[in-house]
A and B are shown apart, each in its own frame.
Chain A
Amino acid sequence: MNDKGIRIEGMRKRYGSGDTAVDALKGVDMHVAPGEVVGLIGPSGSGKSTLLKCLGAVIDPTAGRMTLGGEVIYDEGWKVSDLRALRRDKIGFVFQAPYLIPFLDVTDNVALLPMLAGASNDEARARALELLTALDVQHRAGAMPSQLSGGEQQRVAIARGLVNRPPVILADEPTAPLDSQRAMAVVRILNDMAQKFETAIIVVTHDEKIIPTFKRIYHIRDGVTHEEAGEGREFA
């Protein structure tokens, strides 16, 4: 069994207890290989956000097992003591809105993560510029977030998610605020980056435009996932 990338088995999450307990996740199984981009789709209330928060080590699952880059990080309890460092070093986040830090310029928005991990300012900025160049926004390196277009902001957010070379990126509705053309551009970038950096990317989305681009899709309904093959359509 290839445990590289991210793998979860039998993940459960229960909110509350007794008669008022709600099972948001009822045994989720999922595996995303390095370099792969999969879609996670489902109606509101199906458990998408809960699954994302469990994968992002933001909330504690009730039961299950999770490996990340071959390392068991959860098995009926967290196996790492510092979840903050786990999120910083092993998990990249791309949000529905870019949520860039408004008082940092583009370079420092991206370089902040390596700096938090202990990299020197010069080294962190060099890594940030490398990614900004790969995402074709290096010309806006000194701009403030408010000076960027929506598409540029989202590319900077992707660069921030990738800068620490995490084995997995969790993208929460990354194309929601974008038009079709920019949405497809973002998906293309995610695929390119997944392959370039051997990163597993999970894209939570409702966006009908991009769903056909995934080769594999996890449907989640009532806290249970079902895997199916996607169309894997070429980008327009």
Chain B
Amino acid sequence: MISLAGRDILHAWGKFVFTGFGLGLLIGVTLVMAGVYRGMVDDGKVLLDNSGADLWAVQKGTLGPYAESSSLNDDLYRPILAMPGVAAAANVTYLTMQVRKGEQDVRAMVVGIVPGDAWGTPGWPSHLVSGRQITRGHYEAVADLAAGFRLGDRIRIRRNLYTVVGLTRRMVSSNGDPMVFIPLKDAQEVQFLKDNDAIWQNRRRTEADPAFNRPGVPGLLDAVIASQSTNNYVNAVLVRLKQGAAADEVAASIRRWKRLTVYTRPQMEEILIGKLIATSAKQIGMFLVILAVVSAAIVAFIIYTLTMDKIREIAVLKLIGTRNRTIAAMILQQALALGVIGFVVGKITATFAAPLFPKYVLLMPQDSMAGFFAVLAICALASVIAIRLALKVDPAEAIGG
């Protein structure tokens, strides 16, 4: 038996290809949307991977340092370092802000790390594509390539200029912003630093406060002012465990003895993916549903129109004895063929378009497979209306009068 659907497609291939192309662009957008979601999840995981930590010690009762603000004294890492099972502990700060280079600025996550020569300190960029790690205590930076900086560039963060000494790749925040690593002390200053007028006004207020400017207590005012102009806080302590140490046990120990909140890797993933990007994921999910409905409506409309154009031929086919299932199969196969053409066009479009997006778009093979079967299912579903129309055609319509 010849394929009626195949012959019809070959006969009107231009119509099918152009329609499939249009549908393909829609499918391409759908695949990219799925890729955006995957990219967000991957950004979150990359953030955790690149931190080099097994545990995150944060301010008690917070979801810091990524989902909520967290503030810890910067000397807390020392007692943590002394806890059983802890191999390394390092302070870290995170601050999302605009980093300027000349007249341009870039949205970036500025990460304050402990400089030094111990490669692999928690918080450090895990790899460099060029240059070196930060070795000086001030005014050096390592930047992600996505920030657009080059080695030797001078970038401004708040008041100070930093020299880019190293470049890394895929070091991004959970929002996909590129990271810029600077020395911890500088980062603490960046988080705290006020403008000169504000500093002057603050000193004046402190001097006017009799509680701080007591007669007969020399040095109190200077001490208070000094404490106001320094920042001894960090956002988290990143902890790396010794080999064989149980993360849950060490976390429980730190919680108990240091009165801090400590998250393990699975818990941090849950915070990042389950909480931080949950709303964005729902947003994208809604878009995917809408795109699926729109795709189904378009396929249904196209197949319905193609079927309407063949009403007389279908009546003749039924009159000369063609089975209903043969006619239904013809329409179904055409809808599926349209879906296959659309998917191929969509997949190619998504593959070439993904790198052009400013944020990371991760196209996963399993998403493509799921998308392919979803497209087939949608096309099959969309053909139902046309099939119902065809099955209702009276063979008597082929006989005039």
Contact = CB atoms under 8 A, between A and B. Distances in A.
A113 B323 CA distance: 11
Given A56-B319, A84-B323, A88-B321, A172 B400 contact: yes
A31 interface: no
A101 B317 contact: yes
A85 interface: yes
A52 B316 contact: no
A219 interface: no
B2 A108 contact: yes
Interface string A111-129: 1110111000100000000
B7 A58 contact: no
Contacts of B321: 84-85, 87-89, 113, 116-117
A99 interface: yes
B396 interface: yes
A49 B8 contact: no
Interface in A73-101: 84-85, 87-89, 93, 95-96, 99, 101
A144 B12 CA distance: 12
Contacts of A104: 2, 4, 7
Given A49-B400, A172-B400, A116 B11 contact: no
B317 A95 contact: no
A99 B316 contact: yes
B135 interface: no
Contacts of B395: 58, 87
Contacts of B399: 49, 52-53, 56, 58, 93, 95, 172
A25 to B, nearest CB: 13
A172 B319 contact: no
Interface in B166-217: none
A12 interface: no
A157 B49 CA distance: 72
A147 B2 CA distance: 21
Interface in B40-59: none
A235 interface: no
A44 to B, nearest CB: 8
Contacts of B246: none
B400 A116 contact: no
B319 A49 contact: no
A165 to B, nearest CB: 14
A39 to B, nearest CB: 16
B1 interface: yes
A48 interface: yes
A93 B398 CA distance: 10
A65 interface: no
Interface in A164-198: 172-173
Given A56-B319, A101-B316, A121 B7 contact: no
Contact of A103 (B7, B322, B326, B398): B7
Interface in B1-29: 1-2, 4, 7-8, 10-12
B313 interface: yes
A143 interface: no
B266 interface: no
A147 B7 CA distance: 16
A58 B316 CA distance: 12
Contacts of A44: 401
A99 B11 contact: no
Interface string B293-327: 00000000000000000001100111111110010
Interface in B66-83: none
Contacts of B1: 115-116, 121
B398 A95 contact: yes
Contacts of A59: 396
B316 A95 contact: yes
Interface string B371-401: 0000000000000000000000011101111
B19 to A, nearest CB: 16
B181 to A, nearest CB: 65
A52 B8 contact: no
B313 A49 contact: no
Interface of B: 1-2, 4, 7-8, 10-12, 312-313, 316-323, 326, 394-396, 398-401
Chain A to chain B: the 5 pairs with minimum beta-carbon distance, closest first: A88-B321, A49-B401, A103-B11, A103-B8, A58-B396
Interface of A: 44, 48-49, 52-53, 56, 58-59, 84-85, 87-89, 93, 95-96, 99, 101-104, 108, 111-113, 115-117, 121, 144, 160, 172-173
